[in-house]
Chain A
Amino acid sequence: MTWRLLHRWLGLVAGAVALLLGITGAILALDPVSSAWQAVPAANDLPVATLAQRVAANVPGMEEIRRLPEGDIVAWSFDGNQARASRIDPADGHVLGAYEDSALFRWVKNLHRSFLLDDPGRIAAAVVALTMLLLSISGLTLTARRLGGWRQLTARVRGSLLQRIHVVTGRVVVAVLLLSSITALYMSAVTFSLIPADADTEPDVISVDSTQPDLRAEQLPLLRSLQTGDLRRLSFPSPDDPEDVWQVETDQGAGWVDRRSGQTLAWEPIAMPQRVNDLVTLLHTGEGAWFWAVPLGLAGACIPLFWVTGLLMWWQTRRQTPRIADNAALSQADMLIFVASESGVTWGFAQALHQALTRNGHRVYAGGLEKFQTVAAARQIFILAATYGDGQAPAHATKALERIKNQPISATPVTVLGFGDRQFGTFCGYAEALDQALRERGWPQLLPLEKIHQQSPQEFARWGAALAQALNESLTLNYVPRLPPTTVLTLISRQQFPGAAGEPSVILRFQSTGLSRFEAGDLIGIIPPESPVPRYYSLACGWRDGFVEICVRKFPNGLCSTWLHTLQAGDTVSAFVRPNPEFALGGTRKPAVLIGAGTGVAPLAGFIRRNTRHAPMHLFYGIRDPAKDYYFGREIEEWLGDHRLSSLKTAFSRVPDGGGYVQDALQRDATHVRELLSGGAIVRVCGSRAMSQGVTRVLDEILAPLRLSVARLKADGRYAEDIF
């Protein structure tokens, strides 16, 4: 959570400035590339003496030769009254033209390193570099977390288009950005003399006075031994100063040569600090290595992309959380509502409660549960808490329980309302934990813990009636679920199964026209006519199949399933797609162990149907009686035939010698399953809770010799369940 906050706020605020560094950096990266393109470089093994001789023959008043990072040779000269800088063709020493550093690149570079603000700007740029470093580290950590661990860093990214752009580009360029920001910080430290970059002292050498004439460059042994490929700079001795010397700098060191004797007066190998500094500069600028400048520039150009996509994502999250109109200030509120919500749905209930109380003249505050506290003016406190997974807190409220335990107790009653699903083992487990903690500490309550099943507006309204009575006010809670836009789907065909336990099942196939893209394993939310609350079913196909297919078992008194069973071809339903990225396969070609029982085979059938690339898929399929509930039986035979499915193991629990449950089938095939899992196979389990617990137990036994467990596979993102 902390990483997320750090990444979000640093990104939004400092990212706006980093944007400028990214764009200017990308422009600057063009410099080495274009320079390399236009360069007229010397042969690397050309002796420096020969080069100097050629240049001296063509340029009067030579003072200095430099080899630019991209290989161009530039000569500085002063011919009595005019200083010149000329580009030289090293092949013969003739002048190609005047040399001038690009004013545009120079301006952009000053913008890049100091925002044109000199030292204060340089410090600001260093701070932005530090920010980039933190953003890269936090971004990488969040990506690993999102994809299910560091070893999954290369896994396929799911989510909205914005999220995919942000994460996929980030994953590609993060290494370059890390390097860029670290080298930027190093260079800043060098600029402010916090790190030494080169030797301060130079040898005190002079050319010995004598009547001998000056030697020419080609007569100097040191220059003859040096190669132009290593040359950085060669200074000619001044004509006005008889004691002046030749000075040469190469990638290996610096040398001083007597102008008359030609003796090497001193040679100093390049010192380690300068070597490091040179390397850092190369890594940061790409100067002298255009092929490295290209990724540098691209990474820089990605920074605006990160900022824009990050900003939009933040904006979307904000928009999805309903805004509470007339939210009172915490300190002045007499009614406090604290919310723990995973998807934002519970906020919708909080909004309804807030509205009703406000209408009655209360000053009502609503906030996240992580902010739980009481204030002097408060008369009632409500906690509306959803449960995430198996009794855990929603992500934003992970520390809330701890916080509540540490709050000083007040006389203000705290009432807990839980939201969950009875089909889970621990219905409203988190709300129960909260309520228990409050009661143990001795907080009073207005109403006992109440639990709302599947976001039921009716149950919520009933709780509202009890609340009205307790408060002695008239109060109506009117919750309208916030749903994504729905599409009307027309039923094409239905395939009825009698079912082995008396309850029939049906495979329904609808037209998919108008739906957003979906994958097998995603969910479709269907809104039954008499309730605004959607019911979710796993999709047995992908959007490429061109239809929507679900397998529905009729539950006794099940409002939606009963209604679906009455549908005939041509009837319509209102529906929308809900992505289920943890469960859907997302295009992986790894071997897959698919385990399903009853109607739970539907998403697995969808995986196999879409497996036209023939990734190894092994289905373990448990039903009661093949004569009565063998869903997708005919298709499965067909998929075995065309190798979309590699192997099938079945278990029929209501048939004598039918093989028991699906976990028994796993047990019988333990060696093969172990082999698959040690080879990196992924696992998908779909069915009832009891079945998934049985499967976990058997798989843990199978995995034990590999020092693996289901929990471990889950942590690595290899194991996912779709439980109903």
Chain B
Amino acid sequence: MFKFKPLVAATAAACALALPTLAHSRPVTLAATLNNYSGNGAYLAVYLTNAKGEYVSTLWVAGGKAKYYKHLADWNRLSANDAKRLNGVTGASVGAGRTLNVTADLADALIDAGYEIRIDAAVEKMRDSPSEVRVPLTKAGAGKAQPGKQYIQSLTYQIQ
């Protein structure tokens, strides 16, 4: 179920579970490029919510120190009951101007079904940005860059 792939720009290769059925799944690749803010590396939580805004799964967490996770407030709250939220999906924090690449195997049923990809961001001594960016997971949205509020210059995903 997990698949790792060497990536170019920065940090991470990831994967996530296929939900809600055992039906066909396909790889979805995300690229989140940070703008050149003036600060230390960003903690990022990339996760999926359903049509009701409920947490589904964590795709990637950039940044290794659990004590800072409370600054990724939305993700931290929504995923609090997911004991496996960090399983195999953590990596280093992402520096200003760098790109985080994440690859996840997502079930077909998740696409065009009201699911959203969300990213929470936080940087030391700077403002926390829960739900820095939220994009619906749709075929039509694939390949379209979407800016975040403060730290993310653009988030793009590709469905293969």
Residues of chain A having any CB pair with chain B under 8 Å: 63-64, 66, 76, 78, 83, 85, 100-101, 103, 106, 110, 118-119, 190-191, 193, 197-198, 200, 202, 204
Chain A residues positioned under 8 Å from B150 (CB to CB): 78, 83
Given A64-B127, A85-B127, A101-B126: A118 and B92 interface contact (C-beta under 8 Å) = yes
Closest Cβ–Cβ distance, residue A426 to chain B (whole Å)? 65
Give the contacting residue for B38; candidates A100, A191, A198; CB below 8 A. A100
Chain A residues positioned under 8 Å from B66 (CB to CB): 193
B127 and A76 contact, CB distance less than 8 A: yes
B149 and A101 contact, CB distance less than 8 A: no
Residues of chain B having any CB pair with chain A under 8 Å: 38-40, 64-67, 70, 77, 92, 125-129, 149-150
Chain A residues positioned under 8 Å from B129 (CB to CB): 83
Cα distance, A202 to B40, chains bound together (Å): 25
Closest Cβ–Cβ distance, residue B125 to chain A (whole Å)? 6
Interface centre among A64, A76, A101, A190 (most CB of B within 10 A): A101
A83 and B149 contact, CB distance less than 8 A: yes
Write 18 A-B pairs (CB below 8 A) sorted by A numbering. Answer: A64-B128, A78-B149, A83-B127, A83-B129, A83-B149, A101-B39, A101-B125, A101-B126, A119-B64, A190-B67, A191-B65, A191-B67, A193-B65, A193-B67, A197-B67, A202-B70, A202-B77, A204-B77
Cα distance, A193 to B65, chains bound together (Å): 8
* Nearest-neighbor residue (CB-CB) of B69 within chain A: A200
The interface residues of chain A, by DSSP majority, are classed as mixed
Chain B residues positioned under 8 Å from A78 (CB to CB): 149-150
Closest Cβ–Cβ distance, residue B66 to chain A (whole Å)? 6
Give the contacting residue for B70; candidates A100, A101, A200, A204; CB below 8 A. A200
Cα distance, A638 to B126, chains bound together (Å): 76
Give the contacting residue for A103; candidates B38, B70, B127, B128; CB below 8 A. B38
B127 and A63 contact, CB distance less than 8 A: yes
* Nearest-neighbor residue (CB-CB) of B148 within chain A: A83
Give the contacting residue for B40; candidates A85, A110, A198, A204; CB below 8 A. A110
Chain B residues positioned under 8 Å from A106 (CB to CB): 38-40
Beyond A66-B127, A78-B149, A200-B70, 15 additional contacts (C-beta under 8 Å) are: A63-B127, A83-B127, A83-B150, A85-B126, A101-B38, A101-B126, A106-B39, A106-B40, A191-B65, A191-B67, A193-B66, A193-B67, A197-B67, A198-B67, A204-B77
Cα distance, A197 to B149, chains bound together (Å): 29
Chain A to chain B: the 9 pairs with minimum beta-carbon distance, closest first: A83-B150, A76-B127, A64-B127, A78-B149, A103-B38, A100-B38, A83-B149, A193-B67, A101-B125
Closest Cβ–Cβ distance, residue B136 to chain A (whole Å)? 15
Closest Cβ–Cβ distance, residue B41 to chain A (whole Å)? 9
Cα distance, A64 to B129, chains bound together (Å): 10
Chain B residues positioned under 8 Å from A83 (CB to CB): 127, 129, 149-150
Closest Cβ–Cβ distance, residue A77 to chain B (whole Å)? 9
Chain A residues positioned under 8 Å from B92 (CB to CB): 118
Chain A residues positioned under 8 Å from B64 (CB to CB): 119
Chain A residues positioned under 8 Å from B128 (CB to CB): 64
* Nearest-neighbor residue (CB-CB) of B125 within chain A: A101
Chain B residues positioned under 8 Å from A76 (CB to CB): 127
* Nearest-neighbor residue (CB-CB) of B123 within chain A: A101
Interface centre among B39, B40, B67, B128 (most CB of A within 10 A): B67
Closest Cβ–Cβ distance, residue B122 to chain A (whole Å)? 12
Closest Cβ–Cβ distance, residue B84 to chain A (whole Å)? 18
Chain A residues positioned under 8 Å from B39 (CB to CB): 101, 106
* Nearest-neighbor residue (CB-CB) of A66 within chain B: B127
Closest Cβ–Cβ distance, residue B102 to chain A (whole Å)? 21
Chain B residues positioned under 8 Å from A191 (CB to CB): 65, 67
Closest Cβ–Cβ distance, residue B43 to chain A (whole Å)? 14
